[in-house]
Amino acid sequence: MLPDGEGGEYFDLNLCDKTAANVVNLDGLVIVEGQIHQYTNNAIKLITDGDLGKIEKLKKMNETYQDDNILVAVFDNKVFNGDNHLKSASFLSDNNWTKTANWNYPTSKKRVKVWIDGHSEMSGAYAEDGCSEYASCTFYIRAEAMKKNFWGNWKYTSYMPSFSFNATWEYEYYDFSCDPFITQGCGVYNCPKHYVPAYSCTAEPSYICPTSPHSAYYPTVNNAFLPLTPHGIWKSSPTWFYDPFMVTHCSFSSIIDGKSFTYNW
C-alpha cells in the first residue's frame, strides 16, 4: 500500500518497471523474444540465452551482475517522486526529464493526473561514469484516475475515463563509435546518436514502441503506464556508452476526463 497524500492509501504493484505489470507472473518473470526477464522492486534481470535452468539462480541474485548470459541491473538509490511512486535512480549519469503535476478534480470524489516519468542511467557490473556496456531508460506517460470510496480513501476503481494525447520528442545518447583508435569498449572520443531501431518496449513482443510523433486515444484508463521510445534496457556493442539516454525536447498535450495536462521543454 502507498500513501495517497491525503491521509489514505492505495494499492500499487511493487515493480521498478510498471509496464510489465500486466504480463509477468507472481515471481515477476516473463519470456520476451527468447530472453527471460525478471522485474523486482529495485532491479531488472535478464537471461539473454533463454535458458530456463538459470531461473532459480537469477531469482537469488540481488546485486548488479553481468556475464555472457545474465545481466542484473540493480538501481542502488530508491527515491520517491512527488506522486509517492517508487522511481529508480543511479549514482551513474542520472539523466532525468520527469515532469510531474498536481491532481485535477473533475468532481469532489474524482481526481485525475497525467505526468511523464523519464530518466536514464548506466547499468551493469562494468558500469562507470562515462563508460558502460548497458544503459537503462525509463520513459512512459502516466495517466491516473482515482475515486474516493465510502470511507473517503482514494482508490483505483471503476472510475475509468477516456484519455488522449499528442506528443513529439527528440532524444540522444552518446557512445564511442566515432573513436578512430578503438574497435570495442570505451575510448576518448564520443559522439551523439539520435536513433534506435524498431523494437518492443513492453513484455508483449508484438507491441512496437511508439516513436515521435505519436498520438493515441484510450477509451478507458485509471492507472496507465504508456511507454515511448527509447524505454528499455540497451546494450551498446562493440563500442560502449559514454552517456545514457536523454529526451532533450518534447511537446506533449493530453486530455483526461475533460482536464488538460501539457508539458513542453
Domain-located, residue 34: no
Buried b (16+ CB within 10 A) or exposed e, 219-253: eebbbbbbbbbbbbbbebeebbbbbbbbbeebebe
Tell me whether strands 35-39 and 29-32 are parallel, antiparallel or unpaired: antiparallel
Domain-located, residue 156: yes
Q: What does the pLDDT look like over 21-73, one tens digit per residue?
A: 555 677 778 776 677 888 887 778 888 888 888 888 888 888 777 776 887 87
The terminus-to-terminus CA distance of the chain in angstroms comes to 33
Q: Which residue has the cell 471503476?
A: 158
**pLDDT confidence of 82, banded at 50, 70, 90?**
very low
Domain-located, residue 252: yes
The candidate with the shortest Cα–Cα distance to 136, out of 152, 124, 149, is 124
Residue 91: predicted pLDDT? 40
Q: What does the pLDDT look like over 172-185, one tens digit per residue?
A: 999 999 999 999 99
For residue 229 the three cell numbers come to 521510445
Domain-located, residue 5: no
Residue 42: predicted pLDDT? 75
Give the number of domains in the chain. 1
For residue 188 the three cell numbers come to 576518448
122 Cβ contact partners less than 8 Å away, ≥ 6 residues apart: 90, 92, 93, 128, 129, 132, 134, 135, 241, 244
Q: Write down the pTM of the prediction.
A: 0.72
Where is average pLDDT lowest: 1-10, 69-78, 137-146? Answer: 1-10
pLDDT, mean of residues 97-120: 95
Q: What does the pLDDT look like over 206-259, one tens digit per residue?
A: 889 999 999 999 999 988 989 999 998 898 999 999 999 999 999 999 999 999
Domain-located, residue 56: no
Q: Provide the residue range defining the domain that includes 185.
A: 77-264
Whole-Å CA distances, 91 to 78, 95, 175, 178: 11, 10, 19, 26
Q: What is the SS3 assignment for 38?
A: strand
Domain-located, residue 124: yes
Domain-located, residue 127: yes
Q: What does the pLDDT look like over 6-32, one tens digit per residue?
A: 555 544 555 555 555 555 677 778 776
CB 134 within 8 A of CB 84: no
* Beta strand residue intervals within 4-103, DSSP E: 9-10, 29-32, 35-39, 43-47, 65-66, 70-74, 77-80, 86-89, 95-96
Domain-located, residue 44: no
